[in-house]
């Protein structure tokens, strides 16, 4: 079964109930295909101004399977980002760590961020 990591852009559209994304995310959840990442969820909670959204995110964090980054993974993401010249391509360390973790775990990444879509191998992109 395909496992998918949603980045911040997709989660934000889901929380706003933007269609067709909200329906598609719901279907992936029902099929148990979504994998959470601590970097994505911490970014979402940090940016969320609505208490209701924060509560929903915390619930998802508790129930979804997840990738939990280790310090080695963060260092390797920095090396990977440097070798890929991501800084000059507008990709930050958080995005690089997400890309590296998704690639290492063999998952797919669903992102709406055109910068990310422009630098990653399309084989890891969902949709």
Q: Give the integer Cα–Cα distance in Å for 90 and 120.
A: 13
Longest dimension (CA), the chain: 40
Q: The tokens of 103 are what?
A: 């690639």
In the numeric block, which tokens belong to residue 71? 């310090």
Contact (CB, 8 A) for 37 and 101: yes
Per-residue pLDDT of the chain (127 residues; tens, 9 = 90+): 899 999 999 999 999 999 999 999 999 999 999 999 999 999 999 988 888 889 999 999 999 999 988 889 999 999 999 999 999 999 999 999 999 999 999 999 999 999 999 999 999 999 8
**Count of beta carbons in the 10 Å neighbourhood of residue 112:** 15
């Amino acid at each position: 079964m395909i496992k998918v990591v949603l980045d911040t852009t997709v989660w934000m559209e889901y929380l706003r109930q933007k269609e067709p994304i909200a329906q598609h995310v719901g279907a992936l959840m029902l099929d148990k295909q979504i994998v959470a990442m601590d970097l994505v969820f911490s970014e979402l909670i940090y940016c969320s101004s609505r208490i209701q959204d924060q509560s929903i995110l915390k619930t998802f964090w508790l129930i979804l399977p997840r990738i939990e980054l280790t310090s080695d993974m963060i260092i390797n993401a920095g090396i990977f980002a440097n070798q890929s010249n991501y800084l000059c391509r507008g990709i930050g360390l958080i995005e690089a760590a997400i890309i590296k973790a998704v690639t290492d775990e063999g998952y797919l990444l669903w992102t709406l961020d055109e910068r990310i879509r422009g630098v990653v191998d399309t084989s890891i992109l969902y949709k």
